[in-house]
Amino acid sequence: MTLAIEAVGLVKTFPSKGGDVEAVRGVDLAVEQGEVFGFLGPNGAGKTTTVRMLTTLLSITSGVARVAGVDVASDPDAVRRKIGVALQEAGLDPRQTGRELVTLQAQLFGLAPAAARDRAQSLLELVDLVDAGDRRIKGYSGGMKRRLDLASALVHQPDVLFLDEPTTGLDPASRLTVWDEVRRINAEGTSVFLTTQYLEEADQLCDRLAIIDGGRIVLEGTPASLKASLRRRRGLDHDPTLDEVFLEATGRTRIRAAGDVEQVQA
């Protein structure tokens, strides 16, 4: 079976006055089709750099990356046709209506006008924005904008959807709504690669996850297996949280990570 995402020995270096800086230092990833895969890491760990390489936004120094079976370095255009990317700061034109934006996006991907309108309608239904579809985006709440950004990223029915911190800054109710949309999108067959600041979010949504620190993967597994492993190693008499797993894997302490236990900065 073709993996949704595969990376072997992925490396990224940046030149600096003091010599090359290795931001990503040999990352291996294998994300199965149909998974929601979480990618966590503290500030400066190499998380964003890895995602930018996988989505063709940044060149690869060495190693191999394939997304939906396509080599990222040798055929980036084909990769872009197979992925959707919803960035943390949605690039939405506030003067457009939600329906106009999604319809235009569909036409940019080659759909005829009638087909683009039909696709926009189905996507607005998917993210529960039909009633707001003809309102200008400037009047949307933060949660509505995130859901519209999801719809925009799905117009060409991507095999893999990259979500970059999709709920950062949202209130709890809006965050739960976005979680529901991610689950619904995944249930329709789209593999999801999720970066998030929120460990609870990873615990609730992800089938498996990887934690990156210092440019290397330091831990990988299902949320349940990682918590169970920590409980066994420490002989705990309670079920640990994913926060505790993260803190141990990255060598952080609660004092050092004050403010970042629930919110891990990218």
| Per-residue b or e along 225-251, where b marks 16 or more CB atoms closer than 10 Å to that residue's CB | ebbeebbeeeeeeeebbbbbbbbbbbe
**What is the DSSP annotation of 151-220?**
HHHTTT--SEEEEESTTTT--HHHHHHHHHHHHHHHHTT-EEEEE-SBHHHHHHH-SEEEEEETTEEEEE
Model pLDDT, residue 251: 85
Model pLDDT, residue 253: 57
Model pLDDT, residue 12: 96
Q: Which of 2, 1, 4, 3 is nearest to 162 (CA)?
A: 4
> What are the structure tokens assigned to 77, written together?
């255009």
For residue 23, the surrounding DSSP H or E stretch is strand 21-31
Phi, psi of 224 (to 5 degrees): -65, -45
What domains can be seen in the chain, in order of their start residue? 5-250 (3.40.50.300)
Give the other-Cβ count within 10 Å of 18's Cβ: 6
Read off the pTM: 0.85
Start-to-end Cα distance in the chain: 32
Model pLDDT, residue 258: 37
pLDDT tens for the chain, 266 residues long, are 679 999 999 999 998 888 888 999 999 999 999 999 999 998 889 998 999 999 999 999 999 999 999 999 999 999 999 999 987 655 688 899 999 999 998 998 889 999 999 999 999 988 889 999 999 999 998 888 888 988 888 888 899 999 988 888 778 888 888 898 899 889 989 999 999 888 999 999 999 999 999 999 999 999 999 999 999 999 999 989 999 999 999 986 554 443 343 444 43
